[in-house]
Amino acid sequence: MSDLEFEYAALLKQRHRISTCFEWVCRIATGSALLFLAVLLAGVIGQAWGWLDLQFLTGFDSRRPANAGLLAGLWGTFWLILFTTIFTVPVGVGAAIYLEEYASDNRLTRLIKLNLSNLAGVPSIVYGMLGVTVFVRMFGMIPAADGWTAAISLGFGTLEIPLPLGRCLLAGSFTLSLLILPVVIIASQEALRAVPSSIRHASYALGATEWQTIRHQVLPAAVPGISTGIILALSRAMGETAPLIMIGALTYLAFAPGNLNSPLEAVQDPQRVLDAPFDMFTSMPIQIFNWVGQPKAEFQNVAAAGSLVLLILLVVFNATAVVIRNRAQKRITW
Amino acid sequence: MNSLPTVLTTNAIDQNEVIRVDVSRNDSAAVKEPSVGAVAAMARPSVASASSINEEHAVKIRAKNVDFLYGNNQVLFDVSLDIPEKSVTALIGPSGCGKSTFLRMFNRMNDIIEGAHHTGEVLLEGTDIYAPQIDVVLLRKRVGMVFQKSTPFPKSIFDNIAYGPKVAGLRNRARLAEVVEESLKRAALWDEVKDRLNSSAMALSGGQQQRLCIARTLATNPDVILMDEPASALDPASTAHVEDLIFELKKNYTIVIVTHNMQQAARVSQQTAFFFEGVLVETGETHGLFTNPTQKQTEDYITGRFG
Amino acid sequence: MSTADTSGRPLSEATISLHRTASFVRLKEWGIRSVLFGCAAVSILTTFGIVSVLFSNAIYDLSPQRLGTDGQAKPNEAFFQQVSVTEFVTETRWTPQFSEKHFGILPLICGTLLISGIAAFIGLPIGLCSAIYLSEYAAPRTRAVIKPVLEVLAGIPTVVYGYFALVFVTPYVLKPLFHDLLGMDVGVFNAASAGIVVGIMIIPMISSLSEDVLRAVPRSLREAAYALGSTRFDVSTRVVVPAALSGIIASFLLAIARAIGETMAVTIAAGQTATVTADPFRSVATMTSYIVNVSLGDTEIGSIEEKSIYAVGLTLFLMTLCMNVVSQFVLRRFREVYQ
C-alpha cells in the first residue's frame, strides 16, 4: 500500500485548502445574513430621517404625506396588546400548568400537545378567518342587520357591548390572542419543565397540595421564563397585520379608538375608555401597510418613519425580555 | 507492515506548503534487532527501573518533561516516558491522575479542548509532533485512537471502516473493499459481519462495536494505536476478545493502553507506567513492576490500599 | 395498646378531623384542575373552530339559512357546493372578481411556490451554512453575540419586509442587475423581491433549528472522526451533518411552510396578478395575497367571491399542516436518537 501513502500525502494540501475554503463559505454566509439586517435597518432609518418627529407621533393620518401621523395606530396597537395580554396570560399559563403539572401521559394529553405544535405553524391569515366567523360575525347567529347592544351601567359610564361584536378592536384582540396562544403555552411549558422536580418533591413531602406547590414553589421559579415567552409572543402580535385586516381593521383611520387621544382624556372622560374596545380601529403595521401602497412617493418616507417607530418598540420589548432572562439566570442557580 | 519509506509530511512556515521529509522506519516483521541509534539516543533511563526499556525494541514515542494544563489547572507534572515500539505499554493509576490526558497528547487530541496547553516535548520517532510545521491530520492517521465508549458513526459497517481512507483520499471502490476486509480481519470481526457490511453499525453489540472501532482505526494504517480504557464498558467475554486482539496486534503495532484494571494491565502489557495525581511515579517492565515495585506509592496502589 | 396518639388526643377524634378538612381541600383542588383543563382545552377548540369554519364555508355548509345584507334569505352554500373540485384543481385561470368567473387554484399555487422557491433558494443555504459556522467553527463568545442578532431578523414585522422589498430591493438591486445590466423586464411588483425578503426572513429559523440539531450530535462522534485523521471540513460534512440530517430537513420543512404562509410582504411587493408563470420578475398573486386583497375590498358576504377565500384558505391550511406534521414527526425521531 506504499503508493497509497504517497497519494494521501499529495492530497493533504488540497484537503486543507478545501477545509479553509469551506470555513470561509460558512463565515460569509453568516456575514451576509448580518449584512442583510444592517442594510435593512440602514434603509429604513435613511428614509425615515427627518420624517420622524413629534407631529408624526401625535397626529392622525392624512391624505397629505407631510401631515400624516401615527397616533391612531399607536393607540390601536396599545389597546390591542393590552387586551391580548389580559386574555392570553391566564389562559396560556393555565394551559401550560395543566399540561406540565396535572396531566397524565394519556392519549388526550398527547393529542393536545401535538395539536399545539400544529397550531403554532398555521398561517396567521387562517386565524383571521377564524376570528371573522367566531368573533366578528359570531357564527351568524345574530344577523348583522339587526344587532343588539348589551348595556351595562357602571358608576362612571356605560359599557355598551354590541352583539355581534362586529369589526371592533375587541374582536381583533381575541383573534390575536388565539394566534399567540400556542406560542405562549409552549414557552411556558418549557419554563415550568426547567424547574427541578426536587423542589416539587420537597414541597409535597411537607404536606402541600398540588396547587399549593405550583402556586408557591413552581410558578414563582418559572416566572422569568414565562414572562420572557409572553413578551416575545406579544412582540410578535404587535407586528401582525393579516388577521386584523380580515377582522376589518381600517387602513385609513383618523381617530383613536373611543376617541381617546391622550391618557389625560381617559381621566377626564372615562366613558371613552369603555367605548374604546368596541370601536373601529387600526394598528401601526396596518398604517404602514396603507402608506406603502400609496402612489405619492413621500408616503414611502412616512412608511419608513412608522416602521422605525415599530422597530424601536420591538427592540424595547425584546430587550426587556432578555434583561429579565439574564437577571433570572443570575439569581436562580440550580 | 511492509517496508516502505514512511512520510511524515510537514508543512512549511505557510500552513499550506508541503515539504516531504523522509523518516525511514524499520521493517517490522523480519527485524527485531535494536536500532542502535535509538538506544544510544536515550539520554537517561526513565524513573527508577533500569530495565524500563525493553532492549529489543526501539523507542517509538518519547515524552520529555511534559507539563499539561487546562487553563490554570495543572494536570501533568514533568512527565517523561519512552514508549517502545511493537509492544504494549500500559498506563495505570487511580481515576483523575492524568493518564488519559497524557495519552491524548500522543495524537494531539487535546488540541480540540479550549484552554489546553503544555510545556515539554513529545517526539514521534525523533520528531516533535507539536512543532508548527507538523500536520495534525497526518499525525492522527499515523497515531490512531480507540475510545472508552465505542463510537460507531451512524452509517453502515462498510462506511465506518472506509471513513479514514476515504477522507484521506482513497476513492477506488475495489481498494476500499480490500482495506475494509483486511481491517476487519485484523480486528477479528470479519467472520461475524462479512455478510452484512451494508447494514447499520449501530445494530452491533457493544463488544462488536468496539472491535469495529478498532478496525476503523486499523484502516488508516497507523503505526501506533492508543487505547483509552477500551474494554471498561464491555462484558467479560467481549473484554477477553479485545485483549486477545491486543495481543495479536502488538506484533505489528505500537500500543499504548490506559486502563484502571490492573489485572488487565498485567495480562496484556510488556511495560507499565504508574501515574498518581499527574506525576509519573514509576515505570518498568510489567511483571517486575507488579511483583516488585520500587516506590511505596506504586505498592500501595497495586495492593489496593487506595484507588 | 393505648387508645391515644402521641399528642394525647384520642385516636378516633384525630382521624375524624383529618377527613373533614380533606374533602374541602380536595374539592378546591378539583375545581382548580378543571379550570386549568379548560384553558388547555381552548387550544383544541381553536383547532376545531378553524376546521369547522373552513369546512363549512368551503366544503359543505352546516349552518341554517342566514339573512343576506338585503334582508332576504339567501342559500348559504359552501364553495365546493357551487364549484367543482375538478375545475378548482385543473383550471389555469383564477378570476372570481371578473364577470366571467374561473376558479382554478393553479395560478395562486404557482405564485406561492414561485416565491417560496426563491425564498428557499436564498434562505436554506445561508441558514444551513450559518448553522454550521455557529456550531462547528465559532467560538462561544462569537456565538453568544451573533445568535441574538440573527434572531432580530426573525422579529422584524413582515410589513417592514414588504416595504423593504418594494422600496429597496426592486429599484436598487433587481432593476440595476437584471434590467439595466441584463436587459430583462422587471416590473414594479414582482415575485423576486418578495421571494428575496421572505428568504431573508426565514434564515434565522433554519439557522437556529439546524444549529440546535447539529449541537445535539454527541461530541464523541466528532472526536472519533478527528482521531481518524479528518480535517474540520471532513468532520462537519461527513460525520456531523449526516448525523443531524433528519433534524436539518425538519427545519427546512418548517421554514418553507412559513414562507408559504407569509402574507404581508408578498401582498405589498408581489402584486395581484393571478397567472401561471415561471418569470420571477412579473407580478404574481399568492394564496395569501389573494385572501388579503379580497378582504380589503368590498365583497358581499355570502357571495361566491367571499366563499372563494375560504377555499383558498383551506388549501393553504392543508399545505402548511402537512409540512408541519411531517417536520414534527421527523424532529421527534431525531430527538429519540440523540436525546
- DSSP output for A134-154: IIISGGGTS-TTT-EEEEEEE
Predicted local confidence at residue B55, as pLDDT: 52
Domain count, chain B: 1
Check if C45 contacts A (Cβ < 8 Å): no
Task: Please state, in angstroms and rounded to a whole number, the distance separating the CA atoms of residues B204 and C222.
Answer: 20
Q: What is the pLDDT of residues A80-101, one digit of tens each?
A: 999 999 999 999 999 999 999 8
Asked if B16 lies within 8 A of A6 by C-beta distance, the reply is no
Predicted local confidence at residue B15, as pLDDT: 34
Task: Please state, in angstroms and rounded to a whole number, the distance separating the CA atoms of residues B52 and B39.
Answer: 12
Q: Do the strands B73-84 and B59-70 form a parallel or antiparallel pair, or are they unpaired?
A: antiparallel
Note whether residue B181 is domain-resident: no
Task: Please state, in angstroms and rounded to a whole number, the distance separating the CA atoms of residues A282 and A71.
Answer: 10
Query: Chain C neighbours among A 226-255 (CB < 8 Å)?
Result: 235-236, 238-242, 245-246, 251
Contact A180, A84 (CB under 8 A): yes
Q: Do the strands B116-124 and B224-228 form a parallel or antiparallel pair, or are they unpaired?
A: unpaired
Note whether residue B165 is domain-resident: no
Query: B131: which 3 cell numbers?
Result: 512543532
Check if B133 contacts A (Cβ < 8 Å): no
Query: C228: which 3 cell numbers?
Result: 481518524
Low-confidence ranges of chain C (pLDDT < 50): 1-4, 14
Query: B144: which 3 cell numbers?
Result: 490512531
Predicted local confidence at residue A136, as pLDDT: 85
Task: Please state, in angstroms and rounded to a whole number, the distance separating the CA atoms of residues B160 and B183.
Answer: 11
Average pLDDT over residues A291-319: 91
> Which among A293, A234, A279 has a CA at the least distance from the CA of A86?
A234
Cβ contacts of A126 on chain C, cutoff 8 Å: 50, 54, 313, 316-317
Biggest CA–CA distance in chain A, Å, is: 98
Predicted local confidence at residue A274, as pLDDT: 80
Distant-in-sequence, close-in-space partners of C278: CB < 8 Å, separation ≥ 6 = C114
Q: How far, in Å, are A59, A83, A253 from residue A265 at the CA level?
A: 16, 20, 19
Of A5, A8, A15, the CB nearest to B4: A5
Gap from C204 CA to chain A (nearest CA, Å) = 9
| CB atoms closer than 10 angstroms to residue C105 | 23
Gap from A152 CA to chain C (nearest CA, Å) = 26
Average pLDDT over residues B14-20: 32
Note whether residue B140 is domain-resident: yes
Average pLDDT over residues A128-144: 81
Cβ contacts of B164 on chain C, cutoff 8 Å: 228-229
Following DSSP, what letter does each residue of chain B receive, concatenated?
Answer: ------B--EE-SSTT-EE--B-----TTT--S--HHHHHH--SPPSB-TT-S-TTS-EEEEEEEEEEEETTEEEEEEEEEEEETTSEEEEE-STTSSHHHHHHHTTTGGGGSTTEEEEEEEEETTEETTSTTB-HHHHHHHEEEE-SS----SSBHHHHHHHHHHHHT---HHHHHHHHHHHHHHTT-HHHHTT-TTSBGGGS-HHHHHHHHHHHHHTT--SEEEEESTTTTS-HHHHHHHHHHHHHHTTTSEEEEE-S-HHHHHHH-SEEEEEETTEEEEEEEHHHHHHS-SSHHHHHHHTTS--
Average pLDDT over residues B278-306: 88
Task: Please state, in angstroms and rounded to a whole number, the distance separating the CA atoms of residues A314 and A308.
Answer: 10
Predicted local confidence at residue B304, as pLDDT: 83
Check if B171 contacts A (Cβ < 8 Å): no
Q: What is the pLDDT of residues A187-211, one digit of tens each?
A: 999 999 988 888 888 888 888 888 8
Q: What is the pLDDT of residues B200-240, one digit of tens each?
A: 998 999 889 999 999 999 999 899 999 999 888 888 888 99
Cβ contacts of C230 on chain B, cutoff 8 Å: 137, 140, 167
DSSP C297: S
Task: Please state, in angstroms and rounded to a whole number, the distance separating the CA atoms of residues C339 and A10.
Answer: 41
Q: B139: nearest CA in chain C?
A: C229
Check if B135 contacts A (Cβ < 8 Å): yes
Q: Give, for C308, the enclosing helix (H) or strand (E).
A: helix C304-338
Of B17, B20, B169, the CB nearest to A8: B169
Task: Please state, in angstroms and rounded to a whole number, the distance separating the CA atoms of residues C279 and A215.
Answer: 59
Cis-peptide into A164, omega within 30 deg: yes
Query: B296: which 3 cell numbers?
Result: 511505596
> Which among C107, C156, C22 has a CA at the least distance from the CA of C286?
C107
Asked if C224 lies within 8 A of B164 by C-beta distance, the reply is no
> Which among C39, C46, C245 has a CA at the least distance from the CA of C131?
C245
Report helix, strand or coil for A162.
Answer: strand
Report helix, strand or coil for A251.
Answer: coil
Distant-in-sequence, close-in-space partners of A159: CB < 8 Å, separation ≥ 6 = A151, A152, A153, A274
Lowest mean pLDDT, pick from B16-20, B53-57, C175-179? B16-20
Q: How far, in Å, are A152, B51, B298, B299 from residue B272 at the CA level?
A: 91, 12, 11, 13
CATH code (residue B240): 3.40.50.300
Asked if B147 lies within 8 A of C229 by C-beta distance, the reply is no
How crowded is the C-beta side of C311, counted as CA atoms within 13 Å? 28
Predicted local confidence at residue C7, as pLDDT: 55
Q: What is the pLDDT of residues C131-173, one digit of tens each?
A: 999 999 998 899 989 988 898 888 899 999 999 999 999 999 9
Chain C interface disruption, residue of A101, A109, A122, A142, most C CBs within 10 A? A122
Q: Give, for A198, the enclosing helix (H) or strand (E).
A: helix A197-205
DSSP A215: I
Predicted local confidence at residue B43, as pLDDT: 32
Report helix, strand or coil for C94.
Answer: strand
Asked if A12 lies within 8 A of B6 by C-beta distance, the reply is no
DSSP C312: H
Query: B232: which 3 cell numbers?
Result: 471498561
Gap from B48 CA to chain C (nearest CA, Å) = 33
Task: Please state, in angstroms and rounded to a whole number, the distance separating the CA atoms of residues A283 and A188.
Answer: 27
Average pLDDT over residues B117-143: 91
Average pLDDT over residues A174-183: 95
Provide ipTM, 2 decimals: 0.89
Q: What is the pLDDT of residues B62-115, one digit of tens each?
A: 999 999 999 889 999 999 999 999 999 999 998 888 899 999 999 999 888 878
Cβ contacts of A16 on chain B, cutoff 8 Å: 15-16, 135, 137
Predicted local confidence at residue B31, as pLDDT: 33
Predicted local confidence at residue A59, as pLDDT: 87
Q: What is the pLDDT of residues A215-229, one digit of tens each?
A: 888 888 899 889 989
How crowded is the C-beta side of C153, counted as CA atoms within 13 Å? 28
Contact B304, B64 (CB under 8 A): no
Asked if A5 lies within 8 A of B7 by C-beta distance, the reply is yes
Following DSSP, what letter does each residue of C216-270 receive, concatenated?
Answer: HS-HHHHHHHHHTT--HHHIIIIIIHHHHHHHHHHHHHHHHHHHHH--HHHHHHS
Q: A309: nearest CA in chain C?
A: C160
> Which among A122, A81, A65 has a CA at the least distance from the CA of A317?
A81
Query: A181: which 3 cell numbers?
Result: 396562544
Decide if pLDDT at B32 tops 50.
no
| CB atoms closer than 10 angstroms to residue A269 | 16
Note whether residue B226 is domain-resident: yes
Decide if pLDDT at A23 tops 60.
yes
Torsion sign across C-alpha atoms C153, C159, C160, C165: positive
Note whether residue B194 is domain-resident: no
The fold of the A49-331 domain, in CATH, is MetI-like fold (1.10.3720)
Task: Please state, in angstroms and rounded to a whole number, the distance separating the CA atoms of residues B146 and B232.
Answer: 12
> Which among B266, B296, B161 has a CA at the least distance from the CA of B216?
B161
Predicted local confidence at residue B19, as pLDDT: 30
Note whether residue B25 is domain-resident: yes
Q: Which domain holds residue B45?
A: 10-153+221-302
What are chain A's partners, defined as 3 or more CB pairs within 8 angstroms?
B, C
Average pLDDT over residues B15-36: 34
Average pLDDT over residues A3-15: 78
> Which among A12, A17, A13, A8 has a CA at the least distance from the CA of B171?
A8
Cβ contacts of A15 on chain B, cutoff 8 Å: 137, 167, 169
Contact C241, C211 (CB under 8 A): no
Contact A118, A126 (CB under 8 A): no
Asked if B137 lies within 8 A of A13 by C-beta distance, the reply is no
Asked if A125 lies within 8 A of C263 by C-beta distance, the reply is yes
> Which residues on adjacent β-strands are paired with residue B255?
B88, B225
Angle at CA B106, nearest 5°, toward B100 and B109?
70
Asked if B137 lies within 8 A of C229 by C-beta distance, the reply is yes
- Scan for cell 486502563, then name that residue: B259
Check if A34 contacts C (Cβ < 8 Å): yes
Check if C224 contacts B (Cβ < 8 Å): yes
Asked if A129 lies within 8 A of C309 by C-beta distance, the reply is yes
Check if C10 contacts B (Cβ < 8 Å): no
Report helix, strand or coil for A60.
Answer: coil
Predicted local confidence at residue C339, as pLDDT: 59
Query: C338: which 3 cell numbers?
Result: 440523540
Burial B161-185 (b: 16+ CB within 10 A, else e): bbbbbbbbebeeeeebeebbbbbbe
| CB atoms closer than 10 angstroms to residue C190 | 28
Question: Which residues in B have their CB inside 8 Å of a CB on C?
Answer: 107, 109, 112, 137-141, 144-145, 147, 149, 151, 153-155, 163-164, 166-168, 213, 216-217, 220
Chain C interface disruption, residue of B151, B159, B200, B209, most C CBs within 10 A? B151
